Amino acid sequence: MIMIVHMHDTNSDTDLARLASVDLNLLVPLLALLEEQSVTHSAARVGLSQPAMSHALRRMRRLLGDELIVRHGKNMILTPRAADLLVPLRRALRQTARIVDSRPFDPATDDRTITVAMTTSKALVIGSALSRLLAERAPHAVLRLRPMTAVSDAVFTDEGADVMLLTEGAPTEHARERLYDDRWVVIASAGAPSGASALELLTALPHVVFDGSPEPRSLPYRVLDEQGVAHRIRERVSDNLLIPFLVAGSGGVAVHRFRPARVLQDSLGLLIEEFPFPLPPLGIDLVWNPWLYDDAFRTWLRDLLRDAAATLDPAPTL
């Protein structure tokens, strides 16, 4: 005789029993309230009257044993408990929405907001092509370009990015795939010494550099140090896209990526020269939201991004 024994996870059964006693309909207005931090705005967002949302808030406070949102001067702010709930609740409801939505992804009718996180200089390079292709292929979708200054899971959990564009070498624990290549070049203003080589520009003119502190110095500057090239830093900025403008306006020099510099070259009158020492190509990678479970959408968006990258001008040797 074969005896079949059904094993139960006691903890899971207890959790399910506890969950069965909770009105899960409160979770959607709870998320709206945490994100909007306003009873009026959250009510309008989920289609409730203001009295109904106020009633739901009272129930949520009793359920969670916390005030959740309190007045601070003229504003409403989240309690620490409410702030801790925001990310896991948003993640859980998004996953739930995908479970109950059985409609296959159809770009012709889909009206979602597609969020792509990247630095402003990358947006300058590929943003227009991406926007143009999205308008052609998913006319009801909204493209949300999210400026990114730091690499962390908050880009996905707090900012809701579907994918981020990350420079090669920038650390991440998530899988990455190459989208397009770039390279380091030397840029100077049109008023730079005529006929000067890149090395002469780097030694003669004051530098505008990206302020990546506490990040280490970029590879080109480590190479300059190794080669014993003396240089003087005049300005540090935290947005790479500002560097070409500052160089053009102040007569300095910078080491910058070729593609954004080329986009701005004619309008700013930039001089672009190859970096004087060998450097490997500088790749721009895709890093996907690890909690994005819509495989059909992700495949479609990957193709869209690759097609946008394919429209970029080649990066010829100068």
Q: Are residues 119 and 264 in the same domain?
A: no
Q: What whole-number distance in Å separates Cα of residue 150 and Cα of residue 156?
A: 12
Q: What is the CATH number of the domain that holds 305?
A: 3.40.190.10
User: 290 and 154 in one domain?
Assistant: yes
Residues 76 and 135 in one domain: no
Residue 170 structural domain: 113-177+284-310
For residues 159 and 299, membership in a common domain is answered with: yes
- Domain assignment present for 4: no
266 belongs to a structural domain: yes
> Is 9 within a domain?
no
Say yes or no: 248 and 199 in one domain. yes
pTM over 0.85: no
Distance CA 102, CA 51 (A): 33
The reply to whether 295 and 173 lie within a common domain is yes
Q: Tens place of pLDDT for every residue, the chain, 318 residues?
A: 344 444 445 555 666 666 666 777 888 898 889 888 999 989 898 888 988 999 999 998 998 899 999 988 888 899 999 888 888 888 788 777 766 766 788 999 998 899 999 999 999 999 999 999 999 999 999 999 998 877 888 888 778 899 999 998 888 999 999 999 999 999 999 989 888 999 999 999 999 998 875 555 789 999 999 999 999 999 999 889 999 999 999 889 999 999 999 999 999 999 999 999 999 989 999 999 988 878 889 999 999 999 999 999 876 676
What CATH number has the domain bearing residue 71?
1.10.10.10
Is 216 among the domain residues?
A: yes
Q: Quick one: 213 and 138 in the same domain?
A: no
